[in-house]
A = this chain, B = another copy of it.
Amino acid sequence: MSKSIEPRTLRGFRDYPPELMIPRERLMETARDVFRSYGFAPIDTPAIELTEILLAKVEQGAEIHKQLYRFKDAGDRDVALRFDLTVPLARFVSQHFSKLGMPFKRYHLGTVWRGESPQAGRFREFMQCDFDTVGTVSNAADIEIAMVIHDLLTALGFERFVIHVNNRHVLSGLLAALDLGDKAVSLLRSLDKLPKVGPSGVRDEMIKEAAVTAEQADEIIALAQTQGSNAEVLAQLAERFGNNEAAKKGVLHLGEMCSVLKTAGIPEERLRVDLSICRGLDYYTGTVYETFLLDDLEIGSVCSGGRYDNLTARYTKQPLPGVGASLGLDRLIASMEKQNLLPKISTPAPVLMAQFAADRLGDYQRVARQLRAAGIGCEVYTDAKKVGAQLQYAEKKGFKAAVIAGPDEFAKGVWNVKDLAKREEKPVGESELIDVLRKIIGDFANCRV
């Protein structure tokens, strides 16, 4: 018990100190508020599950087998830490189906673990933030997911973003009309690389992997790159592939989405029908979503998802369709950090009450409690140190204001309020304190206490 141990975290894991955790909690709370406002309800599930449950839907040889944190528990059961929130949702819905009532709308913010090779900005432990509507095939649910994505990003403070939508049926119909339906998976996998390798790279791969002609490859790529307003793109598709049932359905659903979002007041430029979006199309079966920040395209999609036909295969015979998406919370925070959108503060309270006289601690805390009750967070400094040291502490942590009262102020019945940014100080009567401080702190950290 005497040797000292070097304090450290495991590789691929990290601590969240206050300056990162304060904005992270704010993002999570904002996301929860938006989910709730649409009637999505929270659930939680265990971090540890039986391995056979977690891997039930995973193919042999899939990467996740190697990434799983898997071990024997004290009862010699083969268990593992969850690697996503989709498998737990499938297990949860199958297990509690009779009690839930359909449609079932849930959100789930939870930690997941994957033993990936650590890279810059990638961790082995991260937060997922999923929302899904299961138990309905109605396009109203698909449309709503796009609305939630929109309202999430605006609530988080973003204005310059675009939600790209596509529909598996449209692409299937296109390929069927070109008589290439049987090569869909391979062709879409190549098409997905368009932003990375460009049209010629995609064409080469399509020719090589799917054995199509250069003309066929060019036609697919040209279609995927169809330009124009949403109405124009949809009109072109309807004209060209209107006699293919799958494509027709996909076009109809995308059209409904555009129309409802417009009526509901969502700016048209924030939704784009984009036929080149096909990531995950071998998993998704209808609508797909990806969301890009115009001021940080290179960070990739910050909210992605889609519609699936059967969430609960392997756990129950009853097929359960659904639609949902996942907000890339840590990716958003990384982007906000890069764009200097995060306040550099490590205090959740905007006001520091300095302490001079230990025998007046009751008065300091009495006034501090009045501020807190008025929604103004107020920390009372713990020690009656020199005021300079206390103000230094306040500035280092990012407090907006300090309230200072020593024997002189108590004698006069005033509290000195210091605006720490402007370095201005003035005496204020107790009854005006809340109003004066509100002006100084503004909407500090959107403090909701």
Contact = CB atoms under 8 A, between A and B. Distances in A.
A33 B449 CA distance: 5
Nearest to A263: B362
A37 B101 contact: no
A138 interface: yes
A313 to B, nearest CB: 9
A308 to B, nearest CB: 15
A386 interface: no
Nearest to A55: B5
A310 interface: no
A447 to B, nearest CB: 7
A41 B22 contact: yes
Interface stretch (A229-237, A286-294, A343-351, A421-429): A343-351
A391 to B, nearest CB: 13
A43 interface: yes
B77 A10 contact: yes
Interface in A23-82: 24-25, 29, 32-50, 52-53, 56, 59, 66, 69, 71-75, 77, 79
Interface stretch (A141-149, A170-178, A240-248, A267-275): A141-149
Interface residues of A, number: 116
A115 B73 CA distance: 9
A4 interface: yes
A377 B265 contact: no
A382 B36 contact: no
Interface string A341-374: 0000011110010010010011101101100100
Contacts of A416: none
Interface stretch (A88-96, A187-195, A204-212, A432-440): A88-96
Nearest to A14: B46
A101 B382 CA distance: 13
A41 B15 contact: no
Given A5-B315, A17-B100, A25-B42, A262 B362 contact: yes
B41 A91 contact: no
A225 interface: no
Interface in A78-112: 79, 90-92, 94-96, 99-101, 103, 105-106, 111
A24 B4 CA distance: 39
A4 B315 contact: yes
A151 interface: yes
Contacts of A16: 42-45
Contacts of A369: 147, 151, 264-265
A140 interface: yes
A256 B8 CA distance: 39
Contacts of A261: 362
A13 B138 CA distance: 34
A101 B49 contact: no
A222 interface: no
Contacts of A106: 18
Contact of A260 (B21, B53, B347, B362): B362
B41 A314 contact: no
Contact of A99 (B14, B17, B40): B17
A397 B94 CA distance: 19
A346 B382 contact: no
B136 A383 contact: yes
Given A151-B372, A448-B33, A346 B10 contact: no
B33 A138 contact: no
A218 interface: no
A263 to B, nearest CB: 3
Given A138-B382, A140-B383, 14 more contacts: A5-B314, A7-B95, A7-B316, A9-B49, A18-B42, A21-B42, A25-B42, A39-B349, A41-B346, A42-B348, A144-B365, A261-B362, A263-B366, A264-B368
Q: Which 8 pairs of residues, A with B, have the shortest CB-CB distance?
A: A39-B379, A263-B362, A71-B71, A18-B41, A36-B348, A13-B46, A264-B365, A7-B94
